[in-house]
Amino acid sequence: MSTAPAPGPRDSKPSPSDRPKPKPALIFDDPLDQQSSDDTDRGWGERAPAGGSAADLARFLDEKPPHHI
């Protein structure tokens, strides 16, 4: 008769991925103190400044009203 432990699952420590994730802490800051995407030019669909006269001309032609043909 053998005294070796039987093969199979052993009592092991749970890995960090098995542990439940802690809930995020509640934040009681004023949300109006933070800048939203609507507060930026990019949030309104503006392009980042590319610089150069060719980029300026392309933007002018793209944004020219139809009555300025």
Q: What is the pLDDT of residues 11-62, one digit of tens each?
A: 556 566 677 888 878 878 888 888 888 888 777 877 776 677 888 888 888 8
Residues 6 or more apart whose Cβ sits within 8 Å of residue 47: 59
Give the 3-state secondary structure of residue 7.
coil
State how far the Cα of 63 lies from the Cα of 33, in Å rounded to an integer.
33
Angle at CA of residue 45, ends 39 and 51, nearest 5°: 100
Residue 69 to residue 59: CA distance in whole angstroms = 15
- Sequence-ordered list of residues with C-beta below 8 angstroms from that of 38, at least 6 positions apart, any chain: 44
Kindly report the pTM of this predicted structure.
0.27
